[in-house]
Amino acid sequence: MNTNLTLISHRLCPFVQRAVIALEEKGVAYTRRDIDLANKPDWFLAVSPLGKTPVLLVGDEPLFESAVICEYLEETTEDALHPADPLRRAQHRGWIEYSSALLNAIAAYYSAPDEAALQAAASDLDQRLARLEQALGDGPYFAGAAFSLVDAAFGPVFRYFSVFERLGVYAIPPEFARIRAWAQALAARESVAAAVASDYAEQLVRFLEERKSELARRITAAALAA
């Protein structure tokens, strides 16, 4: 690709990470520009109709919505990350949508205002993961040996769970062995690791502690007791 690509990003945003992973997998040159979503610059608002990251600037043409950005990269670059078969490709798009719903469920979990809401959000996560477990084959990736855009979408999902597990607040249930193995394979993939800074876990914990949520109270109490 000859056009300059700039990915307008936020350091923790899971949707940004999808686009970074696709760019890295395809070996496409790009510049990443992180912004502060709590203090959005005017130049960002001018190119982001929903005021959300990611936005990919293709030259000076803005593209918004992570799934759309990934589809554009797929159509314009080498190294396909979608299956060639139209039915399989459509199914992959469905599972990418599923990962977006899972990200919303994760946000509901870390924003839950009280104990009852936190427990309800955790069991909602369990149910969503149970359905996902049924969709998986032998791995290591979603569709077997080939890394796909579904993997790019779930890498950022599992990153939350790995931090939650380290904090002792939530983990992928052990009976979902296929998901646990898949999450490990994704964490070990170079493109997935490269999508965040090395201090991601500390930054995420700080972000979680700043919520006025039950999870924030738990993390803070555990840190005080340690």
Ligand X SMILES: N[C@@H](CCC(=O)N[C@@H](CS)C(=O)NCC(=O)O)C(=O)O
* Contact footprint for ligand X (CB under 6 A): 10, 13-15, 37, 51-54, 65-67
Q: Which is nearer to ligand X, 54 or 155 (CB)?
A: 54
CB of 225 vs ligand X, minimal distance in Å = 31
> How far is the C-alpha of 109 from the C-alpha of 225, rounded, in Å?
23
CB of 145 vs ligand X, minimal distance in Å = 27
Q: Which is nearer to ligand X, 64 or 133 (CB)?
A: 64
Residue written as tokens 């300059």? 4
CB of 121 vs ligand X, minimal distance in Å = 18
> How far is the C-alpha of 27 from the C-alpha of 39, rounded, in Å?
31
Q: Which is nearer to ligand X, 104 or 198 (CB)?
A: 104
Q: Which is nearer to ligand X, 13 or 192 (CB)?
A: 13
Contact predicate 91/150, CB 8 Å: no
Which neighbouring-strand residues pair with 21? none
Q: Is 31 exposed, middle or buried (0-12, 13-18, 19+ CB in 10 A)?
A: exposed
CB of 217 vs ligand X, minimal distance in Å = 22
